């Protein structure tokens, strides 16, 4: 059996470290509320299933072996985050020109979910992390290493969802206070847009 409890402790430490996923959940929760943050948390957690399958089935090794494949995913993910930031900033600018509370149209929850899933799937660093991290907590002599990796990945996804959801609830409470102000939603969306663009640039940069 894999070292589940030791793995859980390490996974929680890594999930709490600032990164694209938890920062996205934080900014989305502040800008649009708890439900949006929770949906983003669910989306990023769902995206981890994709990286799990790549690692367990061995496809992640192909990405690692061919730098071109890695960089293609890396730049695609960076471009997608920058695109999300641009769309968010454009929506905030439109809100400044329009009048009334209806001008600030919230991003549909379904779109937030799939945006989060795709943003996670297009992050090759998560794939490489899985193939480097999971085997360290498996036991070769116990056999069924892919099954052990699958169990560990499910533990990682579960704890990630709990942590992301906690961030969403916290950010939603903070955002609710600011959104009660007349123009706060515009500034919050600007903050979210800048955060997404910054995350995209960070993803595109070399380690």
pLDDT of residue 173: 84
Instruction: Copy the structure tokens of residue 127.
Output: 């794939």
pLDDT at 100: 43
The pLDDT of residue 180 is 65
Beta-carbon count within 10 A of 132 CB? 12
- Note the pLDDT of residue 156: 93
Report the C-alpha gap between 134 and 121 in whole angstroms.
Answer: 18
Mean pLDDT value across residues 180-194:
68
Domain limits, the chain: 4-204
Say yes or no to pLDDT of 95 above 60: no
CATH 1.10.150 for the 4-204 domain, yes or no: no
* Residue position matching structure tokens 């899985």: 130
- In contact, 120 and 126? CB cutoff 8 Å: yes
Q: Is the dihedral of CA 173, 178, 179, 181 positive or negative?
A: positive
- Asked whether the predicted pLDDT for residue 164 surpasses 60, the reply is yes
Cα–Cα distance between 4 and 148 in angstroms, integer? 10
Sequence-ordered alpha helix ranges (H) in the chain: 4-16, 20-32, 34-57, 59-65, 67-97, 109-121, 124-133, 145-179, 184-204
Percent of the chain with pLDDT over 90: 20
Predicted confidence band of residue 154 (pLDDT cuts 50, 70, 90) = very high
Crossing angle of the two packed helices 109-121 and 20-32, in degrees rounded to 10:
170
Give yes or no for residue 64 having a pLDDT over 70: no
* pLDDT for position 201: 85
pTM of this structure: 0.75
Q: Is the pLDDT of residue 12 over 80?
A: yes
Buried b (16+ CB within 10 A) or exposed e, 178-192: ebeeeebbbebbbbb
Name the residue with tokens 């600032």.
18
**Which pLDDT score, from 0 to 100, does residue 39 have?**
96
Taking 50 as the threshold, does the pLDDT of residue 102 lie above it? no
Q: What is the pLDDT of residue 96?
A: 43
Mean pLDDT of 83-92: 77
C-alpha–C-alpha distance, residues 95 and 101, integer Å: 9
- Average per-residue pLDDT for the chain: 79
Q: What is the mean pLDDT of residues 94-118?
A: 68
163/41 Cα distance (integer angstroms): 9
Q: Can you read off the two tokens belonging to residue 92?
A: 């905030």
């Amino acid at each position: 059996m894999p070292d589940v409890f030791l793995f859980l402790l390490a996974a929680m430490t890594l999930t709490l470290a600032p990164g694209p996923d938890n920062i996205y959940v934080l900014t989305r929760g502040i800008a649009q509320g708890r439900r949006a943050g929770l949906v983003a948390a669910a989306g990023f957690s769902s995206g981890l299933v994709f990286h799990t399958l790549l690692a367990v089935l061995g496809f992640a090794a192909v990405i690692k072996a061919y730098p071109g494949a890695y960089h293609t995913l890396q730049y695609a993910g960076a471009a997608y985050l920058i695109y999300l930031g641009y769309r968010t900033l454009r929506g905030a600018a439109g809100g400044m020109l329009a009048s009334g509370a209806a001008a600030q149209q919230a991003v549909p929850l379904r779109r937030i979910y799939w945006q989060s899933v795709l943003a996670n799937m297009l992050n090759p660093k998560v794939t490489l992390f899985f193939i480097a991290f999971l085997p360290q907590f498996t036991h070769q002599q116990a056999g069924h290493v892919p099954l052990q990796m699958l169990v560990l990945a499910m533990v990682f996804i579960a704890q990630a969802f709990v942590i992301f959801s906690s961030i969403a609830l916290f950010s939603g409470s903070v955002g609710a206070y600011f959104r009660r102000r007349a123009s706060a939603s515009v500034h919050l969306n600007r903050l979210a847009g800048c955060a997404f663009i910054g995350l995209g640039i960070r993803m595109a940069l070399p380690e």
